[in-house]
Chain A
Amino acid sequence: MGARAAGLAGIRALFPLAMAVFPFGIVYGVLVARGDFPNAVGALASPVIYAGAAQIALVDLLDRDTPIAMAVGTALIINLRMMMYSAALAPAIARFGRGWRVAAPYAITDQLTVVSLLWFEKNPDPRDRRAFFVTGGLFFLGVWVLGTLIGIATGAQVPDGLQLGFAIPLTFLALLMPTLRGRPELTAALAAGLVVVLVAGLPYSLGVPVGAVVGVLAGMAAPR
Chain B
Amino acid sequence: MTALIAVLITGLGTYLIRLSMVIALGRITLSHRAERALSLIPPAVLAALVAQTLVLDEDSLRTLSSWHPAALAAAVVAWRTRSIGWTLVTGMTVLWTIQAVAG
Chain B interface secondary structure, helix, strand, loop or mixed?
helix
Bound-complex Cα distance A13 to B38 (A): 22
List of A residues within 8 angstroms of B54 by Cβ: 169, 172-173
A82 and B44 contacting across the interface, CB-CB below 8 Å: no
Q: Is A188 an interface residue (CB 8 A)?
A: yes
B59 and A201 contacting across the interface, CB-CB below 8 Å: yes
Q: Is A139 an interface residue (CB 8 A)?
A: no
Q: A197: shortest Cβ distance to chain B, in Å?
A: 6
B 42-60 binary contact with A (CB < 8 Å = 1; else 0) = 1111111111111110011
Q: A53: shortest Cβ distance to chain B, in Å?
A: 9
Count, chain B residues at interface, CB 8 A:
69
List of A residues within 8 angstroms of B3 by Cβ: 37-38, 41-42, 62
> Which A residue sits closest to B87, measured CB to CB?
A174
A170 and B88 contacting across the interface, CB-CB below 8 Å: yes
List of A residues within 8 angstroms of B25 by Cβ: 87, 90-91, 94
B56 and A192 contacting across the interface, CB-CB below 8 Å: no
Bound-complex Cα distance A161 to B102 (A): 13
Residue ranges of B at the interface with A (Cβ–Cβ < 8 Å): 2-11, 13-15, 17-22, 24-27, 30, 33, 35-56, 59-61, 66-67, 70-71, 74-75, 78-79, 82, 84-85, 87-89, 91-92, 95-96, 99
User: Would you list 29 pairs from A and B whose C-beta atoms are within 8 A, ordered by A residue?
Assistant: A49-B11, A58-B10, A71-B6, A81-B49, A82-B18, A84-B21, A84-B45, A85-B42, A90-B21, A90-B26, A90-B38, A94-B27, A113-B42, A114-B46, A169-B54, A174-B88, A175-B46, A176-B43, A184-B40, A185-B39, A189-B43, A191-B44, A192-B45, A193-B51, A194-B51, A197-B55, A197-B61, A208-B45, A208-B52
Give the 10 A-B residue pairs with the shortest CB-CB distance, closest first: A215-B44, A94-B26, A177-B78, A48-B11, A189-B47, A16-B85, A86-B21, A87-B21, A174-B87, A193-B51
Residue ranges of A at the interface with B (Cβ–Cβ < 8 Å): 13, 15-17, 19-20, 37-38, 41-42, 44-45, 48-51, 54, 58, 62, 68, 71-72, 75-76, 79-91, 93-94, 101-102, 104-106, 108, 110, 113-115, 117, 161-163, 166-180, 184-186, 188-197, 200-201, 205, 207-209, 211-216, 219-220
